[in-house]
A and B are shown apart, each in its own frame.
Chain A
């Protein structure tokens, strides 16, 4: 018996994995939905305290990074390795800028005494505590996913450089790309839920 070689299975496996990621965040969005329903006023007040400029900039950065990743996949398929490498570097740079922005944004909030278990949140209304609690948990988990995604893109970059990912063998790059798009997509939901509910 010869093993079957149906390469489409790689992509199928990746999509199945992405479902699990969606549901992982889904659990948190359920919490958000319930608490938003219960403390609508507090959530709106909380959203006003978040800096919308950071949110908008980060959204644009991630959208651009997704373009870079998509471009690099197309480039690999057309055997334009240098463009592919440039695309991956671009995406990695976007990811890094996103994380720096996040760091500055979190830093500001922590400076103002808003962090899990802080005096200010302990004294505030329950809804405020939950809004910022969820803000830290969800954006934190998303940040971890950005780091994982950057690691995957970094690995792809090395493999493209070493000619291990080629036009004929692009499954890994495509799967890493799918992961990155998912991380981007999750942010597209996080952004309005935390910055635009006013």
Chain B
């Protein structure tokens, strides 16, 4: 192993050193790491903005923000979290790094396009920053609903343009992944030998490709309306503002599956490894990923029950919403069934995955409360909605991102982190999470609207507790990051397979060499066969640094 140089020592294209060996690299692993740093930057920023919002809401009336700044804070929190963190987080970082390795190849099909996607991502981020420092912070919320987004004087056009560029980045990544999976798989790897993370990226990529153009055109229309005043959504001139909402959610609801599907893929990788047991229902998980991608594209109007649709439309969209719950539940059952009678090896990635299952289930089940039109009328646009989608997006995708970080960190950097601190951080984040969002569910049921700067006295205790939860959560995230990055000061001592994983990324050195494989990989007949790992016994037990 000593003789193999990792991709850190062999820049691609060759000959460039220092910063240039990163900025103009075509190596999918370097691009993935560049995404990781950029995405973590935005994530931390948006977490702090979220903290600011909750701190403001901890006490009645004005605490330390002006109402206008509060509006901007939640808009920024939403825009950054959605477009700059959750959508790209798993595909762009872990997809880029591990998809080619998992299918036994040396790079994505379009390496240059991959780098271009990164630059588009960065450009989108820069434009988003520019929108902050000219003409006032955007204050529309991340949904950019008309007519307010067209009439407000803040800098909506630039913020919308940023989302437009980021959409392109996401679309091109999807295009690249689909082509890579179709054309670059190892010759002997059939579709049902693909690891589940790759499968989930495949389903995600189709949604990215087919849904993103809808929001692109919608955002272009917002810009056109702001500059040319056509009146396509202006009721006084024949337009229909509800149509904007339809177009927006036609993308933005499928987009939540862009966010969650790769997360489910990560969990499907981690659970069998640490249960030392083949995944339960491989085909069912594959089928449910595709089913979520398809059915999830047909439920957008459940965001609009109170917007004035026909009862028939409400009925149909509600029914379809319930249908999406089925494949999601199939996955949860499969994960739990995989754990059943497994030889469970507790590690930080598994712990975070278990937290994921719990929190995501809460998010999914409260989604049904919202998907049913009756209760939806009661809790629409309240804190109940906020708590629900944070359970799915943060408790789901966010925790899957944390789990993926802990699972693949030793492979990406060749260094192991401290287990104890990782557990403490995970407990802090999860405990803080519950403390943060459970009060918000209750506040929502009691009728506290979302996005409001101030509230009635009866909502004070809930908001106060939620603020405390936020503090714990931020402290936990801080500790998690410190613990992970502290490992970078250590020596690279991690063996190729520190966990006992069996997918192809665990057959190559940590960190992998430039072309991933030294010789053509042996493709296993089935990606989750742990018989050898089990036979090796407890000698392969994972250890923290």
Tell me if A24 is interfacial: C-beta within 8 Å of chain B: yes
| Contact in complex: B179, A125 (CB < 8 Å) | no
Are A12 and B179 neighbours in the complex by a CB distance under 8 Å?
A: yes
Docked complex: A74-123 residues within 8 A CB-CB of B: 116-117, 121-122
Q: Is A189 an interface residue (CB 8 A)?
A: no
| A27, B175: Cβ atoms closer than 8 Å | no
Indicate whether B216 reaches chain A with its CB closer than 8 angstroms. Answer: yes
A6 cross-chain contacts in B, Cβ below 8 A: 183-184
| Min CB gap B526→A, angstroms | 23
- Most chain A CB inside 10 Å of its own CB: which residue of B228, B237, B518: B237
> In the complex, which residues of chain A have a beta carbon less than 8 angstroms from the beta carbon of B174?
16
Size of chain B's interface in residues, with CB distance under 8 A?
A: 45
The answer, among A16, A17, A24, A122, for a CB contact under 8 Å with B217, is: A24
A116–B110 alpha-carbon span in the complex (Å):
41
Assess whether B321 is interfacial by the CB under 8 Å rule.
Answer: no
Write the nearest CB–CB distance from B504 to chain A, whole angstroms: 12
Q: Which residue of A lies closest to B224 (CB)?
A: A137
A158–B184 alpha-carbon span in the complex (Å): 31
Contact A130 B171 (CB under 8 A): no
* CB–CB A130/B213 < 8 A: no
Which residues of A (120-137) have their CB < 8 Å from a CB of B? 121-122, 125-130, 133-134, 136-137
Q: Is A23 an interface residue (CB 8 A)?
A: yes
Known: A4-B184, A9-B183. A129 touches B176 (CB 8 A): no
> How many Å lie between the Cα of A133 and that of B175 in the bound state?
32
A198 within 8 A of B: no
Nearest CB of chain A from residue B424's CB, rounded to whole Å: 41
Known: A1-B517, A130-B232. A9 touches B221 (CB 8 A): no
Does B38 make an interface contact (CB < 8 A)?
A: no
Number of A residues near B (Cβ < 8 Å) is: 40
Q: At the interface, yes or no: A8 with Cβ under 8 Å from chain B?
A: yes
Most interface-central of A25, A26, A27, A130 (chain B CB within 10 A): A27
CB of B237 within 8 A of CB of A16, answer no
Q: Is the CB of B229 within 8 A of A116?
A: yes
Q: Judging by beta carbons under 8 Å apart, are A19 and B209 in contact?
A: yes
Specify which chain A residues have a CB less than 8 angstroms from the CB of B183 in the assembled complex: 4, 6, 8-9, 12
Q: How far is the CA of A1 from the CA of B344 in the complex (A)?
A: 36
Known contacts A1-B516, A20-B171, A134-B232; A9 and B216 CB within 8 A of each other: no
Please determine whether A31 and B176 come into contact, CB atoms closer than 8 angstroms: no
Q: A9 near B109 (CB under 8 angstroms)?
A: yes
A16 with B243: in contact, given A1-B519, A3-B106, A137-B224 (CB under 8 Å)?
no
Chain B residues in 8 Å Cβ range of A9: 109, 179, 182-184
Q: Give the B-binding residues of A (Cβ under 8 A).
A: 1, 3-4, 6, 8-9, 12-13, 16-17, 19-21, 23-28, 30-31, 34-35, 38-39, 116-117, 121-122, 125-130, 133-134, 136-137, 141
18 further contact pairs, Cβ within 8 A, besides A9-B182, A20-B213, A117-B229: A3-B107, A4-B184, A12-B178, A16-B209, A20-B175, A24-B213, A24-B214, A26-B214, A34-B240, A116-B231, A126-B238, A130-B231, A130-B238, A133-B231, A133-B232, A136-B230, A137-B221, A137-B230
**Top 5 A-B residue pairs of the complex, sorted by shortest distance between their CB atoms:** A126-B238, A9-B183, A27-B217, A133-B230, A23-B213
